[in-house]
Amino acid sequence: MSPLTDADRITPDLLLRLKRLIVATLHIEGLDPEAIGDDQPLFGEGLGLDSIDALELVVAIEREFVVAIPEGKVDHDVFRSVRTLALWIAERVAQRAPGSAS
């Protein structure tokens, strides 16, 4: 059996779940979660989030997915877009899943 690829781990369900979490957590009025692009930048010119949003998002993601986000990971590699976030979360979830000895 071939190992799971990134694309396999990032399901449409996970992407949508993250988008809904972003909109609900940050109380972004009038934004349809599905209107957020998978690769749209979260900060600056993209979705326009800032450092306080990042703080709230970290707390919300840790709760929702029962993962711990180390301080160093709140960077532009992991928090660049919904897709990069989804990948990082999927990897953490896969690592702790039973039978996923790697």
Partner 1 sequence: MSSAQRSGRDGAVAITGLGAVSGYGEGTAALWAGLASGAAAIGPFRRFEHAKFRTQLASEVRAAPSQKGGRRSSIADRFALGAAREALAQAGLPSRLDDLGCGIYFGSSTGGMFESESYFADLLGQPHRASGIGRLTAQPTCSPGESVARAHGVHGPVQTVASACASATLAMGIALAALRAGEIEIALAGGSDSLCRLTYAGFNSLRAVDPKACRPFRSEREGMSIGEGAAVLVLESAVSAAARGARILGWLLGAGASCDAHHMTAPDPQGAGIARAVAAALADSGLAATDIDFVNVHGTGTPHNDAAEAGMLRSIFGDRLPALPLTSTKGAIGHYLGAAGAIEAVATLLCLLHGVVHPTPGEGTVDPALGLDLVTGSPRALPGARFALSTNLAFGGTNAAVILGAEPA
Question: What residues have CB less than 8 Å from 1, skipping those under 6 apart?
Answer: none
Find, among 5, 17, 6, 12, the residue nearest to 65 by Cα: 17
Choose between 21 and 87: whose C-beta lies nearer to partner 1.
Answer: 21
Which member of 35, 37, 44, 63 binds partner 1 (CB under 8 A)?
A: 63
Per-residue contact flags (x/-) with partner 1 for residues 9 to 38, judged by CB under 8 A: ----------------xxxxx---------
Rg value, the chain, Cα: 14
53 binds partner 1 (CB under 8 A): yes
Sequence-ordered list of residues with C-beta below 8 angstroms from that of 77, at least 6 positions apart, any chain: 84
Q: Report if residue 1 touches partner 1, rule: CB under 8 A.
A: no
Q: Which residues bind partner 1 (CB under 8 A)?
A: 25-29, 52-53, 55-56, 59-60, 63
